[in-house]
């Protein structure tokens, strides 16, 4: 039967509101570029040619490359073990391997610092960031492997290839897009990470931006570093797009799992366990030990803790609502129509994914100071920053939940007398609402963990759990930081874990 969809022209008001939404989320980046273009070429060159800047950039790119390459190799291996080797409790293992996603990087480094106070430099940063980000590769590759028939690999074996070569020549081309896309997320995560590298005193661009902003009145240096960071991010995003070759997968009819001998099974299990142990178990263990220590219980300031929790939860809830409102017209447009402009809008909608939090924070400092000074250092700007940063998470789930409502249902509602808007209210909205809820929850959970933009934009005297944890730790008060870390795990990490159990899509979005 012929399919006759997607030919209808999108309604003007929908295109207009989606365009407005894009314009709004583009404010930070556009404003930063506009400010950057006011600087003279000499000024820019002078900043960029400082050896210090070259060192920061090299540190950043080196760390990001090392972490993402390791994550791709390790994540693909773990995904292969989880899907192709016969293991007991396979589902539980998959869930456990997703856990590091729920732990913000600075919490992991805090936990390690509690256990091993002297940690610093490249190696600890590299190991910890890899442990925390591996699931970005493991989960999509495992999903791709589950959708890929193992028959091809078996055929290759019967044609005389060894197991590794069979995997490389048959299966890898089919999961490569998932692995590379996961690697990109890891690269962007590492690039924009601030808390972990700062705690472990490994100097990257985000750290440099924060220093330049805090230390000098001339903020153009911070702006130039931020632009440099954005350029690196965009180059990597574009390179990944160019390298992406979609291979049509052979559909999995059955998935065979292989039995392996006991010693090898131990090695496989150890590999699967490595990231959760390094990224979750040891840090949370360190935190737990510290939490029950006498010193901590004496130092805990309950009213301050309650206030920070309230601010964190309140700001996150607001951010989730705003992000959903911004994402909805875009999601509705992208789910139902396809033309060039809709494609452009949707791609722009995902752009904030590539923009580091510290860049959005810095740009909104400039923006609020010079355009809306009344809002400078208010919750309005902070919530707006959160909404811009994490809107793509709501966009993805909102889009797919609208898409899952069959257009036939809408057509039926129309022939039964409902106008387009009424059909949306009576059919699309009730069916897509759970998806919208999950999208908003994702935004809220991620917002609670946000650190660098919060540090720049929070109103004076207002603290979130993340900033409290940060300032205690940077002052060396590990004990005093423990209660904040614990509450943060309670309000952000645990819901994230539950959500990742509820919905497999959500795991890849966090």
Binding residues vs another protein (CB under 8 A): 1-2, 4, 7, 406, 408-409, 411-419, 423, 426-427, 430-431
SS3 203: coil
Task: Decide whether 327 or 413 has the Cβ nearer to another protein.
Answer: 413
CB of 158 to another protein, least distance (A): 38
CB of 421 to another protein, least distance (A): 11
Give the DSSP letter of residue 352.
G
Tokens encoding 396: 């993805």
Task: Decide whether 69 or 409 has the Cβ nearer to another protein.
Answer: 409
Residue 247, φ and ψ in degrees, nearest 5: -100, 130
346 forms beta bridges with: none
- The residues, any chain, with a CB within 8 Å of residue 343's CB and separated by 6 or more, are none
Task: Decide whether 199 or 342 has the Cβ nearer to another protein.
Answer: 342
Ramachandran category for residue 266: left, alpha or beta (phi over 0 → left; psi -120 to 50 → alpha): alpha
How far apart, in whole angstroms, are the C-alpha atoms of residue 504 and residue 77? 20
CB of 402 to another protein, least distance (A): 14
Residue 148, φ and ψ in degrees, nearest 5: -110, 130
Task: Decide whether 370 or 411 has the Cβ nearer to another protein.
Answer: 411
Tokens encoding 489: 């795990």
CB of 14 to another protein, least distance (A): 16
Closest to 487 measured CA to CA, from 320, 302, 316? 302
Task: Decide whether 267 or 412 has the Cβ nearer to another protein.
Answer: 412
Ramachandran category for residue 201: left, alpha or beta (phi over 0 → left; psi -120 to 50 → alpha): left
Location of structure tokens 């936990």 = 111
Task: Decide whether 238 or 412 has the Cβ nearer to another protein.
Answer: 412
CB of 412 to another protein, least distance (A): 6
How far apart, in whole angstroms, are the C-alpha atoms of residue 226 and residue 207? 11
How far apart, in whole angstroms, are the C-alpha atoms of residue 87 and residue 73? 21
Task: Decide whether 428 or 473 has the Cβ nearer to another protein.
Answer: 428
User: In whole angstroms, how far apart are CA 313 and each of 44, 460, 466?
Assistant: 40, 18, 12
Task: Decide whether 235 or 429 has the Cβ nearer to another protein.
Answer: 429
SS3 117: coil
CB of 305 to another protein, least distance (A): 42
HEC sequence for 367-425: HHHHCCHHHCCCHHHHHHHHHHHHHHHHHHHHHHHHHCCCHHHHHHHHHCCCCHHHHHH
CB of 499 to another protein, least distance (A): 22
Query: Sign (positive/negative) of CA torsion 144, 147, 148, 150?
Result: positive
Task: Decide whether 266 or 419 has the Cβ nearer to another protein.
Answer: 419
Task: Decide whether 212 or 423 has the Cβ nearer to another protein.
Answer: 423
CB of 416 to another protein, least distance (A): 3
CB of 403 to another protein, least distance (A): 15
Closest to 74 measured CA to CA, from 16, 152, 21, 133? 133
CB of 8 to another protein, least distance (A): 8
The radius of gyration of the chain from alpha carbons, rounded to an integer in Å, stands at 24
Task: Decide whether 117 or 420 has the Cβ nearer to another protein.
Answer: 420
CB of 447 to another protein, least distance (A): 30
């Amino acid at each position: 039967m012929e399919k006759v969809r997607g030919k209808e022209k999108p309604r003007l008001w929908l295109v207009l509101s989606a365009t407005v939404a894009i314009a709004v989320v583009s404010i930070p980046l556009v404003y930063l570029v506009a400010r950057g273009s006011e600087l003279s070429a000499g000024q820019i060159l002078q900043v960029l040619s400082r050896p210090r800047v070259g060192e920061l950039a090299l540190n950043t790119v080196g760390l990001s490359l090392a972490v993402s390459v390791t994550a791709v190799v390790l994540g693909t291996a773990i995904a292969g073990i989880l899907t192709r080797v016969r293991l007991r409790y396979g589902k539980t293992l998959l869930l456990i391997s997703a856990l590091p996603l729920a732990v913000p990087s600075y919490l992991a480094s805090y936990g390690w610092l509690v256990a091993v106070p002297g940690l610093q430099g490249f190696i600890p940063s590299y190991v910890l960031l890899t442990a925390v980000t591996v699931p970005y590769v493991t989960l999509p590759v495992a999903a791709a492997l589950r959708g890929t028939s193992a028959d091809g690999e078996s055929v290759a074996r019967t044609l005389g290839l060894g197991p590794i070569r069979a995997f490389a020549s048959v299966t890898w081309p089919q999961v490569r897009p998932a692995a590379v896309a996961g690697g990109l997320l890891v690269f962007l995560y590492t690039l924009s990470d601030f808390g972990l590298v700062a705690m472990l005193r490994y100097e990257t661009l985000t750290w440099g931006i924060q220093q330049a902003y805090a230390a000098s009145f001339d903020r153009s240096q911070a702006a130039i570093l931020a632009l440099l960071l954005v350029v690196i991010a965009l180059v990597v995003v574009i390179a990944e797009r160019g390298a992406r070759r979609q291979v049509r997968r052979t559909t999995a009819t059955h998935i065979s799992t292989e039995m392996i001998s006991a010693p090898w099974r131990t090695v496989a299990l150890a590999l699967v366990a490595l990231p959760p142990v390094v990224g979750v178990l040891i840090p949370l263990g360190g935190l737990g030990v510290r939490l029950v220590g006498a010193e901590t219980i004496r130092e805990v300031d309950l009213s301050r803790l309650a206030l920070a929790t309230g601010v964190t939860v309140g700001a996150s809830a607001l951010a989730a609502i705003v992000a959903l409102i911004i994402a909805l017209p875009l999601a509705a447009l992208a789910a139902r129509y396809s033309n060039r402009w809709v494609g452009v809008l949707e791609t722009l909608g995902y752009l904030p994914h590539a923009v580091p939090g510290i860049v959005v924070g810095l740009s909104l400092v400039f923006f609020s100071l010079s355009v809306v000074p009344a809002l400078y250092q208010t919750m309005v700007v902070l919530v707006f920053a959160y909404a811009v940063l994490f809107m793509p998470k709501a966009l993805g789930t909102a889009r797919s939940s609208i898409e899952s409502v069959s257009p036939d249902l809408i057509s039926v509602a129309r022939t039964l007398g409902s106008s387009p808007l009424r059909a949306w209210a009576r059919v699309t909205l009730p069916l897509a609402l759970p998806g919208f809820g999950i999208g908003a929850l994702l935004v809220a959970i991620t917002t609670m963990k946000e650190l660098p933009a919060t540090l720049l934009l929070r109103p004076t005297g207002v603290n979130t759990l993340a900033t409290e944890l940060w300032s205690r730790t940077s002052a060396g008060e590990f004990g005093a930081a423990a209660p904040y870390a614990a509450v943060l795990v309670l309000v952000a990490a645990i819901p994230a874990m539950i959500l990742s159990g509820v919905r497999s899509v959500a795991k890849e979005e966090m």
